[in-house]
Chains A and B, each alone.
Chain A
Amino acid sequence: MKKLIRVLGVLVVLGLVALAAFIFVPVQRTGPATQLAADFKPAKGQGEYVMRAGDCMACHTNEGGKPFAGGRAIQSPMGTIWTTNITPDKETGIGNWSLDDFRAALYDGVTPNGTHLYPAMPYENYRKMSEEDIVALYDYFMHEVQPVSNKVEETKLAFPFNMRFGLRAWNWLAASYAPGFKPNAGQDEQFNRGKYLVEGAAHCAACHSPRNLFMAQDGIDETSKAFLTGGEIDGYTAPDLRGPESGPQKWTTEQTAAYLSTARNAHSTATGEMMLVVRDSLQYMTKEDNMAIAAYLKKIGTGGENAAAAPASPVVTETQKMLTEAKADMPLGPRLYLDNCGGCHFVTGKGAGETFPELDGNSLVTAKSPKGLISVILHGAELPSTADRPMKMRMQGYDQRLSDEEIAALATFLREGWTNKAAAVSAADVKAVRDLAHH
C-alpha cells in the first residue's frame, strides 16, 4: 500500500514536472527547410507577391486602417481574435523580429517571446512555404512596408482557450510535419506549382477542408481524403473543391483560373469571403499561377477522370417548365423568382456568361449552410474590380423588398429548383442573417 502511494506520488511529481515543462520550457523553433546561398537575395517584387499569395493583408489590416497595422477582429468559435500589427514598427509591430523569429511565427506559430499564436494564423499551411519565399516575405515586411505605430486590442478568449500553452499539444497534431514543400514526384511542374500555392501560402484548406475532432484541418495535402472537401467559416459553407459536382471539377481549368483572377467565370461568381480572397489576393497572381492552382485542383478531383465531362445537351427541367408557364396559382417561391430574379438568371436558372451567374448547380445556392445564399438575397453582392474584368458588377439586395417569409420561400425554391437538392430554409434562418446586419 505504502509502495503504491509512493509510486503514485512519484507519478504525480513527474506529471507536475512534465506539466511545468509543457508550460515553461521554450518551444523548439523550426529552422530553415533548406539552406540558401549566403548571397541569396529575393527578386524584386517577390516578397510582395508572396504576401499577395498568403493574403496577409486581408486579416492584418483593419477596415479603413493602415495596411498591415492589425486590429481586425476575427470571429472564431472560441471568441474574438484580434489580428496583430505586422508592420516593421519597433514598438507595436514586428520591427525587432529576426528572420528566425519571423520564420517561427510562420512555421511554428510562436512569437519571439514564446507565446503561441492562435491557429487563426494559418501556420499549419504556411509551414509548407519555401525558405526563399520566407526570406522574400521577411524582406518585404522589413523594407517595403511602412511602419505604423498601432497598439491593437489584446485577444482575450475565455477559459480554457486563454491558456495558450495548450496549443503546444495542438501543434503536435497539426503542425509537426517536416517544414517546407515536398513536391509530388509523379506529377508535372504545373501540378506541383499549384500544389505548393494551394497547400502553402494560399492556405485554401484553412476554409475548404473540414476540421477534425481537435479543430485542426482534416488533411493538409491531397493524400488525405478529406482535404479540400468543404468546410465552414463563420457559419458560411466553404464549398467542396474535389467532388464531381464541385466547381473546379465541373469547370474547365481555364474557367477555374478565370474565377480565381476575376471573381467570375461563365458559370459563377465569388461572393462573401471568397470575393475578398480574389479582391485582396488571387487577382494579383500571374495567369500561370492561377492556371497551376486550377490544374492542380482538377487533378485531385475525387470523382475520377470522367467526372469532369461536360453535361449532355441541356435538359428542360420541370422547374423551367413551371416558370415558363407562369400560371397564376404558382407557389410563392417561383413567383418571387419570376418577379425578382428571372430577368437576369432566366427560367433556365443558367444565367448568362460572366455577367449573371447560374443558380442551377451553384455551390452557394446548395451549400449546407444557407447563410451565404440568404445574405446575397438580402444584401446583394459586388464583384471586385480586377485587371482582366474591371467592372464592379453588383447585384442589388432585396432586404427592403422581401420579408423573412418571402426570402425563405424564394431560397427554398432555389435550393430545390432545377437539379438542385438542398434542405429548405426557414423564416427564422433568414431573420438570423438579417439581424446580423443590424448589429
Chain B
Amino acid sequence: MARTEKKKDVVLVGFGWTGAIMGIELANEGLDVLALERGHDQATVPDFQYPNMIDELKYGIRYGMMEKPANTTVTIRRSLDEEALPYRSLGTFLLGTGVGGAGTHWNGLNWRPMQSEYRLKSYVTEKFGAGVMTEDMTIQDYPMTYDELEPHFDRFEKVAGISGTAGNVNGKIIEGGNPFEAPRSDEYPMPAMPSTWDGVKFRDAAKAAGYHPFPSPGGIASKDYVNEYNMQMGPCNHCGFCERYGCYNYSKSSPQTAIIDALKRKKNFEYRVNSEVLRVEKSTDGKTVTGVTYFDHKTGEEVFQPADLVILTAFALNNVHLMLVSGIGQPYDPNTNEGVVGRNYAYQITGGYTLFFKDEDFNPFIGTGANGFCIDDFGIDNIDFAKEGFVGGAYWRAGQTNGQPGHTMPLPSGTPSWGAGWKKGIGEWYGHAMNIGAHGSVMSYRGHYLDLDPTYKDRHGRPMLRMTYNWHPNEIRQTQFMKQKMEPIAKSMNPTTLQEGFKKEGAMFDVRPYQTTHNTGGTVTGDDPKTSVLNRYLQSWDCHNLFVMGANTFPQNTQYNPTGMVGGLAYWAVNAIRKDYLPNPRPLV
C-alpha cells in the first residue's frame, strides 16, 4: 500500500514562508530539496487575480483561502478541568493552506521584537525582581542574542520587501521612526506607506500627548521593488484586500512575490502539493530521523519519503502536532511541569477603542493590512512591571485595513444588529468610525500548553492537537493598563462617541470572534533540553537531522505580529545549517 519515493537530501514539511526560505537557501547549496505541501498550488495569477479575488463573501466571510476544519483542526479547552472540543467553525484564528501558506493571507505587519524580549526572564528578574512574575509563569530567555539575529532580520526584511521608517540605525535615533526599536543595521528597504486619515489623526493626538508615533512597518510595497533573488513587487494601490486574501497586485510580501518563482527555476528543487505529512520517521536508535511519511491526496496512498535532513516548515500548530504524533521529544505534562513538546503555548491579547465622528469621512474603501501609525511608548521595554503589577507590553496602531461591509462595519454599541435600526445605524456611521488597537504580549504559563487529544482523531486516524488556553490575570492587568492609557488619547480626538473593547477581569477565552492567528510556542528554542525542544539553531535536541521553524519556537509570545521574528529565525537557522551543519552533520550544541 505505501510507496517509497527516491531519497532526497532535504525534505521540507510545508511550503509557506519558512519552507520557501529553507528551499531556496538549501537549493543554492546544491542540495536536492523537496517541499511537501498539504494544500493546493496557487500563484498570483490566476489564483489571486483581479477582480475574482476581491470577493468578500467567498474569502472574507466563507474563508476561501483557509484550511477547512473538516480536514484539519484542533480541539480547545480553557483549563485542565474542561473537556476539549473540536474547533469546528473558524473564528478566533484562521489557518491557511496551500502554497504560500499564511504568508499569502496575512495583513503584512512586520516587526522585530524589542531588545528586552530576547532575554525576557533575565531582564525581568534583574530589573524588577523575580517577584513580579506570577508563580505559574514559565517565560525564558532566547538562547541567542538580538545582535546575533540582527543580520538575519535585516535579510528577511529585504527579501520580503518591507516598507517602513527606521527609528534607530546603529544606535542613531532617527526622527519620524520608532525611537524604541532595537538598533537596526540598515533602513527598511522601502519608505513607509502613506497613511489614511484615521492614522494621521492618531499620529497628531499621540504626538500632542508627548508620545512617539511612527508609520507602521509592513510587507506592503510603497514602490516598485526587486529583492536579492531578483523577485519583484509593484506599488500597492490601497485596495484594502490584504488579510484573508491573496494579493492580486504583487504588492503584499508573500512567498509568491519574494521567493517561489526564483526557486522553481532550480533543477534541484521540487515541490509536491496535496501531500500531507502524517509523521516524521525516526531511526531505530531514535537519534536521527530517516524521512517523513505523507498522504498523497491524488493517489490516496501513504508515501514514505526518505531524506537526510528534515525541516518542519508548517504552521506553528502543525509543527507541534507533528512532533507529538511522531514521538520526538518528551510531551509536556502540566501536572509535573516536566517534558517539553507542547510547553509554553501562548496566544496574543488585543484590545482597543472605536471612535465615531459625525463629521469625519474616513473613506474606508482605502486601506492596507499595515496601514497607519503606531506608538511603542507602552512596549515591554518602556513599562515598570514592579509598579504596574504585570509583565508585558503592547504596541498601538490606528489605520484602517479595509472597509469591507460584511465584516468591518463598526457601529456604536446599542445599535440593533438587524432590521431598520441596524440600517439606520449603518447609514449614520459607516465611514465615520476609526479604531485604535493595542496588540499585546502574552507570557507562557504552566497551564497553557498543547498535547494530543485523548478523544478526537483526525481523518487519518491521528489524535488531534489539543490546546489548553485561557486569559491569565497577568495579561488582563496588562490590557487594562493599555485601556487606561489609551482612553485620554482617544478622548483628546473629540469623537462624537467612543467605546472600548478590552478584556476584563474574569474574561474567558472565546474562540468565536476573530482575534488573531498569532499562535506561538510548543516547540520552543532554549539552551536547556529540560525546558526546550530545540537548541539555539532550532535543531531538535533529540534528532540532530531535524530542524523546526516557525512561531512555535518562541519561548513566549512577543507584543508584535510574529512574521518578522519567524523570518529572521529562519535565516538565522539556515545560516547555521549551511555553514556549520552541512559540512559536519551533528548536534550543533
Q: Are A and B co-members of a single complex?
A: yes
Q: Is the CB of B265 within 8 A of A344?
A: no
A388 and B223 CA atoms in complex are apart in Å by 20
Shortest B258–chain A CB gap in Å is 10
Q: With A353-B223, A353-B224, A390-B262 as known contacts, state yes or no: A396 contacts B49, CB within 8 Å.
A: yes
Q: What residues of A have a CB within 8 angstroms of the CB of B248 in the complex?
A: 396
* Residues on the B chain within 8 Å of A355, using CB: 224, 232-235, 250
Query: In the complex where A343-B249, A390-B261 touch, is A353 in contact with B234 (Cβ < 8 A)?
Result: yes
Of listed B233, B235, B239, B249, residue having the most chain A CB within 10 A: B235
Using Cβ atoms and an 8 Å threshold, which residues of chain A touch B46?
394, 396
B230, A343: Cβ atoms closer than 8 Å: no
A-B pairs with lowest CB-CB distance, top 9: A353-B224, A355-B234, A394-B45, A343-B237, A396-B49, A390-B262, A352-B224, A391-B261, A355-B224
Q: Is B51 an interface residue (CB 8 A)?
A: yes
Which chain A residue lies CB-closest to B248? A396
A380 touching B45 by the CB < 8 A rule? yes
| B51, B226, B229, B232 pick with most chain A CB within 10 angstroms | B232
Q: Does B509 contact A (CB under 8 A)?
A: no
Q: How far is the CB of A134 from chain B (nearest CB, A)?
A: 31
Tell me the bound Cα distance from A394 to B43 in angstroms.
10
The reply on A66 being an interface residue by CB < 8 A is no
With contact pairs A354-B224, A355-B224, A356-B224 given, residues A392 and B261 touching in the complex (Cβ less than 8 Å): yes
In the assembled complex, A395 has its CB within 8 A of some CB on chain B: yes
Question: Is A6 part of the contact surface with B, judged by Cβ < 8 Å?
Answer: no
Taking A343-B249, A354-B224 as given, write out 14 further A-B residue pairs in contact, using a Cβ cutoff of 8 Å, ordered by the A residue number: A343-B239, A344-B249, A353-B232, A355-B232, A356-B234, A380-B45, A385-B264, A387-B230, A387-B265, A390-B261, A392-B261, A393-B44, A395-B45, A396-B248
A–B complex contacts, Cβ < 8 Å, 19 sampled: A340-B50, A343-B50, A344-B249, A353-B224, A353-B225, A353-B232, A354-B232, A355-B235, A380-B45, A382-B45, A387-B265, A390-B229, A390-B264, A391-B230, A391-B262, A393-B232, A393-B250, A396-B46, A396-B49
A389 and B264 contact, CB distance less than 8 A: no
Within 8 A of A (CB), among B94-136: none
In the bound complex, CA of A344 to CA of B237 (Å): 7
User: Which residues of A are found within 8 Å of B261, using beta-carbon distances?
Assistant: 385, 390-392
B498 near A: Cβ within 8 Å? no
Alpha-carbon gap, A354 to B224, bound state (A): 7
- Kindly state whether residue B231 has any CB partner on chain A within 8 Å: yes
Interface residues in B248-297 (C-beta closer than 8 Å to A): 248-250, 257, 261-262, 264-265
| A401 interfacial by beta-carbon distance below 8 Å | yes
Contacts of A342 in B (CB 8 A): 237
User: CB-CB < 8 A to B265: which residues of A?
Assistant: 385, 387, 390
Q: How far is the CA of A401 from the CA of B262 in the complex (A)?
A: 31
Which of chain B's residues 317-335 have a Cβ closer than 8 Å to chain A? none
Given the contacts A343-B237, A385-B261, A385-B265, A390 and B230 also touching, CB distance less than 8 Å: yes
A residues within 8 A CB of B250?
Answer: 355, 393
Contact with A along B41-83 (1 / 0, CB 8 A): 0011110011100000000000000000000000000000000
Are B223 and A352 touching (Cβ within 8 A)? yes
CA distance A401 to B50 in the complex (A): 10
Residues 333-365 of A, flagged 1 when their CB comes within 8 A of B and 0 if not, give 000000010111000000011111000000000
Interface flags for A124-151 (1: CB within 8 Å of B; 0: not) read: 0000000000000000000000000000
Residues of A within 8 A of B49 (CB): 396
Within the assembled complex, what's the spacing in Å between the Cα atoms of A401 and B51?
9
| Chain B, range 144-183, C-beta contacts under 8 Å to A | none
Which of A380, A391, A395 is in CB contact (< 8 Å) with B231?
Answer: A391
Q: How far is the CA of A395 from the CA of B233 in the complex (A)?
A: 13
Interface centre among A354, A355, A394 (most CB of B within 10 A): A355
Q: For B44, list chain A residues within 8 Å (CB).
A: 393-394
Contact B262 A396 (CB under 8 A): no
When C-beta atoms are compared, the residue in chain A nearest to B233 turns out to be A355
A352: contacting residue among B231, B234, B262, CB under 8 A: B234
Q: Which residues of B contact A (CB under 8 A)?
A: 43-46, 49-51, 223-226, 229-235, 237, 239, 248-250, 257, 261-262, 264-265
The complex places the Cα of A394 from the Cα of B234 at a distance, in Å, of 12
What residues on B are CB-neighbors of A356 within 8 Å? Answer: 224, 234-235
Across the interface, which residues of A come within 8 angstroms of B257, CB to CB?
391
A317-345 with Cβ < 8 A to chain B: 340, 342-344
* Neighbouring A residues of B51 by C-beta, 8 Å: 401
Give the distance to chain B from A338, nearest Cβ to Cβ, in Å. Answer: 11
Q: Which residues of B contact A395 (CB under 8 A)?
A: 45
**Which residues does chain B contribute within 8 Å of A393, judged by CB atoms?**
44, 232, 250
A396 touches B232 (CB 8 A): no
A117 and B405 alpha carbons, distance in the complex (Å): 65
Binary interface encoding of chain A residues 375-404 relative to chain B, with 1 for a CB under 8 A from any of its CBs, else 0: 000001010010111111111100001000
Contact partners of B234 in chain A: CB under 8 A: 344, 352-353, 355-356
Smallest CB separation, B43 vs chain A (Å)? 8
By beta carbon, the residue of chain A nearest B257 is A391
Residues of A within 8 Å of B43, CB to CB, are 392
Known: A343-B239, A344-B249, A394-B44. A388 touches B230 (CB 8 A): yes
Q: How far is the CA of A214 from the CA of B405 in the complex (A)?
A: 64
Distance of A390 Cα from B265 Cα, bound (Å): 7
Q: Which residues from B are CB-within-8-Å of A344?
A: 234, 237, 249
Residues of chain A lying within 8 A (CB to CB) of residue B229: 390
Q: Nearest chain-B residue to A382 (Cβ)? A: B45
Please measure, in the bound complex, the distance between the C-alpha atom of A391 and the C-alpha atom of B50, giving whole angstroms.
18
Given the complex of chains A and B, what is the CA–CA distance between A390 and B230 in angstroms?
7
CA distance A342 to B235 in the complex (A): 12
Shortest Cβ distance from residue A326 to the other chain B in the assembled complex, whole angstroms: 13
Residues of B within 8 A of A388 (CB): 230
- Residues on the A chain within 8 Å of B235, using CB: 352, 355-356
A393, B226: Cα distance in complex, Å: 13
Q: Nearest-CB distance from A393 to chain B (Å)? A: 7
| Cα–Cα, bound, A392→B261 (Å) | 7
Contact A389 B230 (CB under 8 A): yes
Which A389-426 residues have C-beta < 8 A from chain B?
389-396, 401
- Of the candidates A380, A387, A391, the one having the most CB atoms from chain B within 10 angstroms of its own CB is A391
Given known contacts A343-B249, A385-B264, is B50 in contact with A354 (CB within 8 Å)?
Answer: no
Per-residue 0/1 for A304-319: is the Cβ within 8 Å of any B Cβ (1 yes, 0 no)?
0000000000000000
Report how far A355 CA is from B221 CA in the complex, Å.
Answer: 12
| CB atoms of A389 and B224 under 8 A apart | no
Which B residues are CB-close (under 8 A) to A380?
45
Contacts of A382 in B (CB 8 A): 45
Given A352-B224, A354-B226, A355-B250, check contact A396 B45 (CB 8 Å). Answer: yes
Instruction: Name A352's closest neighbour in chain B (CB-CB).
Output: B224
Q: State the CA gap A396–B54 with chains docked (Å).
A: 14
Name B226's closest neighbour in chain A (CB-CB).
A354
B contact residues around A389 at 8 Å (CB): 226, 230, 232
B50 touches A396 (CB 8 A): yes
Q: How far is the CA of A396 from the CA of B44 in the complex (A)?
A: 10
B233 cross-chain contacts in A, Cβ below 8 A: 355
Q: Which residues of A contact B232 (CB under 8 A)?
A: 353-355, 389, 391, 393
A101 vs chain B, min Cβ distance (A):
35
The complex places the Cα of A236 from the Cα of B264 at a distance, in Å, of 32
Residues of A within 8 A of B231 (CB): 390-391
Interface centre among B225, B234, B262 (most CB of A within 10 A): B234
B230 contacts across to A, CB distance below 8 A? 387-391
Closest to B237 in A: A343
Q: Which residues of B contact A401 (CB under 8 A)?
A: 51
Q: Please, how many angstroms separate the alpha-carbon atoms of A286 and B231 in the complex?
A: 20
Smallest CB gap from A262: residue in B: B230
Residue of B nearest to A339 (CB): B51
A344 CA / B247 CA spacing, docked (Å): 13
Alpha-carbon distance between A353 and B232 when the two chains are bound, in angstroms: 10
Chain B residue at minimum C-beta to C-beta distance from A355: B234
Q: How far is the CA of A382 from the CA of B250 in the complex (A)?
A: 13
Complex Cα–Cα for A392 and B262 (A) = 9
Question: In the complex, what residue of chain A is closest to B250 when comparing beta carbons?
Answer: A355
